[in-house]
Amino acid sequence: MLYKSYYNSPIGELLLVSKDNNLIGLYLKNQKYYLSNIKDNLQLKDDLPIFKKTKDWLNRYFNNENPSISELSLSPIGSPFAKEVWHLLCDIPYGKITTYKELAIKIKEKLNKPNMSAQAIGYAVSHNPILIIIPCHRVVGTSGNLTGYAAGIDNKEKLLRHEQVDLTKLFKPKVK
């Protein structure tokens, strides 16, 4: 059985999804890929321990603390490759950023591959089912482009500002 709960955050209403007392999803309402990896019906159940821990974690995060990802039992649904990428995202420190290219180099070395495309990394990052906690918002283009956030570029910028990331060398992609 899959359970859900809601959290009102400074960037909007978040949907928390749990299975077996593990957090499997954290989605912003109307984000791209909303519930894309979840096919079962969700039952509202606010009193689960994982939801209480996650809401406490989010409260501390939005109160300018730096709670540890390891405090939560996370079990995102995805391919083995995507899970490797999401695991690397968890290593990006609070208030810091990295690039898709830097992640591609790390995954290439970790998986002992001759090469790895930044686009493959971008696909996995954009399909991260646990926003904010698995910090995909901390990944930018090599040129400083704030591209590729499923919850929207404005929310990515808000989260980076919240973490006091220096945005002076970063820019929003031009809308076509």
Q: Helix, strand or coil for residue 98?
A: strand
Q: What is the pLDDT of residue 176?
A: 64
Q: How many Å apart are CA 133 and CA 90, to the nearest integer?
A: 8
Instruction: Give the active site residue among 16, 42, 50, 136.
Output: 136
Alpha-helical regions (H) of the chain: 49-62, 80-89, 100-110, 118-126, 153-162
Contact 96, 165 (CB under 8 A): yes
Contacts of 80 (CB under 8 A, 6+ apart): none
Q: What is the pLDDT of residue 33?
A: 76
Q: What is the pLDDT of residue 63?
A: 97
Contact 142, 101 (CB under 8 A): yes
Q: How many Å apart are CA 25 and CA 22, to the nearest integer?
A: 9
Q: Which tokens sit at 131? A: 């926003």
Q: How far is CA 117 from the centre of its chain?
A: 20
Q: Which tokens sit at 145? A: 């482009």
- Go through the domains of the chain in sequence order and give each one's CATH number: 2-71 (3.30.160), 80-162 (1.10.10.10)
Tens-digit pLDDT string for the chain (176 aa): 999 999 999 999 999 999 999 999 999 988 877 777 787 889 999 999 999 999 999 999 999 999 999 999 999 999 999 999 999 999 999 999 999 999 999 999 999 999 998 899 999 999 999 999 999 999 999 999 998 788 889 999 999 999 999 999 998 887 66
Which pTM value belongs to this model? 0.94
| 136 in active site | yes
